[in-house]
Structure 1
């Protein structure tokens, strides 16, 4: 018998990547599950990558909030409300527990599940669920998502996280380049330029070219400055998430600041080193089937020596053993 499940998890990039193993668990443990997923339009590619997702329902909250009361936005919100109201789900599972996700949950038809007051990031959200679940807050995000899905759907999961990204990685040959993510939306996340240069030199010693990712024009400018005069480095143009995922899938290694794309690379099963400076890896460590190193801590960036040591371990990684490390300081 088909069990219709609606996942509410709209953003952001890293959080959506962390959600993918829970989707794999549901598909494995709930026979006949039909999984739909509401997601912010800019990230709609991510749930579409997972083979167990039946339908992706885009929402444009980030765009709408700039012109919330315009005729166009009101019409789009009405269309979404009618779309959700016409569907009947067995379970509506809010994986976000924020008031902005509750706004969507309240427009759905089905038994609404979510985190209880002690577990939710915004405790007020718990008032709007029919069934509330306790999930320990201070544990990795992937684990929290897997535990919430298991509690809502009545199963016990086992094994390492399965991100379900084989459609991107299957048949892709690893190429002699490293992906670098040196930019961030906040200056307090940035790592010193001299330390980056030492990492670049070490990667070149291993005969690897560099492909740098960036987002905004300011980030692109910073990345270009970082590799000015380096003939073996390229700052990539803006691409779709699927195109970026393809670049990551072919990489020998990635070294990046704590960002959604760094977490995506780990989920794709490529050796990945994350540099944490303004956030803690306790709740959002890199996770994936290959080597991962989550280095640093809020207010304490890792040294160049620590990152270089991780680079050596990552490049020595033997995929057949699937060795990995979690959090390092």
Structure 2
């Protein structure tokens, strides 16, 4: 029986895009035991991926080296008898623990010159693998083997008991249809559709008898408050749920409107009808991986710039994207 350890990404969206890799590994290795080593905040995602046997938390903050801690954790992983470790982040630090563990096969992209730390290194051809989900999935294959296409969409499994428990805890009326709004984007303001536009959309949907709910973290408080000021009847779950509860609640949505963010990928993996709004980023690289998604973007000459802040200081890619354009896409999904 083969045992594989995954060093998983820290970002929510990236963690979801790794799931097709896990599915492919199970196809290749029947009876596989697949474990994941990842930041604690991604545990609710892996708990909803049936391919994952166990999830272990990494005790490293962003940018922390902690060589002693990595060595200790590596010794613990070595005792579990893995045949292979696949490293998804491209950083040098992420390859240290696999090297310390002495796991026989250590697979990953070259990344930050990780020759020696990894012994099954792959050199990326970005034209052959333009999407991140493809770059992850390719690591399921042997070196120099082509990726199996089409790469399946990620899929999160939510059970009825968890869904009902979250709705009860939050006092949500499941008899009325819900539109979920995800107005945040941790990467930066250049990925966030303005709160005033999101509020206008929320107001329109409330007038059609939808419950409109905001999801996000405490970091999204400012834009959430702007939406609440413009659409007072909106239900505010921003910073008031765990990630697990947000996933369970979003699975109840009739449709989701989201910026290019981790929660956008959650909505796609839940197979909810989804309007995905793009400004400074590109749907070519990290699209919503769902047959039920519509991308809305102005596709201006200056975008995508992939910047956290608009380098031209006007953010026309999102300011000029009016609510009626998003509403048309949402109506098409609801129809």
Where on the TM-score scale, by shorter chain, does this alignment land: which range? 0.7 to 0.9
CA RMSD of aligned residues (A): 2.9
Q: 1:10 corresponds to which residue? A: 9
**What is the CA-CA distance between 1:214 and the residue it aligns to?**
2.8
Q: 2:34 corresponds to which residue? A: 35
Q: 1:131 corresponds to which residue? A: 120
**What is the CA-CA distance between 1:249 and the residue it aligns to?**
0.3
Provide the secondary structure at the position in 2 that maps to 1:25.
Answer: helix
Q: 1:10 to 1:58 in 2, by over 3 A?
A: farther
Q: Distance in 2 between matches of 1:47 and 1:30?
A: 19
**What is the CA-CA distance between 1:43 and the residue it aligns to?**
1.3
Q: 1:100 to 1:306 in 2, by over 3 A?
A: farther
Match of 1:80 among 66, 73, 79: 73
Q: 1:170 to 1:143 in 2, by over 3 A?
A: farther
Q: 2:23 corresponds to which residue? A: 24
Structure 1: runs of 5 or more not aligned: 317-329
Q: Residues 164-218 of structure 1, C-alpha deviation per residue, up to 9 Å, x if partnerless? A: 42344799689511111112332222323342233223323442111112312x5
**1:1-329 alignment to 2 at 5 Å?**
2-62=1-61, 65=64, 74=68, 76-108=69-101, 109-116=103-110, 120=111, 122=112, 124-137=113-126, 139-151=130-142, 157-159=148-150, 161-168=152-159, 176-185=177-186, 186-216=188-218, 219-228=220-229, 230-236=231-237, 237-293=239-295, 295-296=297-298, 297-299=303-305, 300-301=317-318, 303-304=321-322, 305-316=324-335
- The 8 Å contact of residues 196 and 227 in structure 2, kept in 1 or not, is answered as no
Provide the secondary structure at the position in 2 that maps to 1:136.
Answer: coil
**What is the CA-CA distance between 1:27 and the residue it aligns to?**
1.7
Q: 1:294 to 1:85 in 2, by over 3 A?
A: farther
Q: Distance in 1 between matches of 2:212 and 2:63?
A: 37
Q: 1:18 to 1:28 in 2, by over 3 A?
A: same
Q: 1:164 to 1:311 in 2, by over 3 A?
A: closer
How many residues are aligned here? 303
Structure 2: runs of 5 or more not aligned: 164-173, 306-316
- Higher mean alpha-carbon deviation, 254-263 vs 164-173, is at 164-173
**What is the CA-CA distance between 1:231 and the residue it aligns to?**
4.5
Q: Distance in 1 between matches of 2:131 and 2:175?
A: 29
Q: Distance in 2 between matches of 1:189 and 1:158?
A: 30
Q: Residues 59-106 of structure 1, C-alpha deviation per residue, up to 9 Å, x if partnerless? A: 0211793xx77xxx95x5454132123233222111222212112221
TM-score if structure 1 supplies the norm length? 0.81
**What is the CA-CA distance between 1:155 and the residue it aligns to?**
8.4
TM-score if structure 2 supplies the norm length? 0.80
- The 8 Å contact of residues 134 and 151 in structure 2, kept in 1 or not, is answered as no
Q: 1:146 to 1:78 in 2, by over 3 A?
A: closer
Q: Distance in 2 between matches of 1:191 and 1:152?
A: 41
Q: Distance in 1 between matches of 2:280 and 2:33?
A: 38
- Higher mean alpha-carbon deviation, 163-172 vs 232-241, is at 163-172
**What is the CA-CA distance between 1:248 and the residue it aligns to?**
0.8
- The 8 Å contact of residues 73 and 97 in structure 2, kept in 1 or not, is answered as no
**What is the CA-CA distance between 1:263 and the residue it aligns to?**
0.9
**What is the CA-CA distance between 1:18 and the residue it aligns to?**
0.5
Provide the secondary structure at the position in 2 that maps to 1:53.
Answer: coil
